[in-house]
Amino acid sequence: MIGSLMMLALLIYKGLGIVMTYGSNPAAGLDVANNALFLGSHALRESLYGAAHLLLGIGLVWYVTLLIKAFRRA
């Protein structure tokens, strides 16, 4: 659940950030808008995206494990 909420928050932040930055200066391009996210820190951006994907992966494995156990009981 935490991974899903984190991913949703990152998607909203990135979407709004790119729309706002690109909307104010379309001549600069989408690369400038993308690089302006997370205060321009590439390491921060990648670590947050990586943590969100890691949490989503752990949650997915946990869910599938619980699902398999439930089918074995039935």
Q: What is the pLDDT of residues 16-60, one digit of tens each?
A: 988 988 888 888 888 888 888 888 898 999 999 999 999 999 999
**Can you give the residue range of the structural domain that contains 37?**
2-73
Number of domains in the chain: 1
Amino acid at 34: N
Environment class of residue 33 by beta-carbon count within 10 Å: exposed (0-12), middle (13-18) or buried (19+)?
Answer: buried
What is the model's pLDDT at position 33? 84
**Would you say the pTM of this structure is higher than 0.95?**
no
d(C-alpha 74, C-alpha 69), whole Å: 9
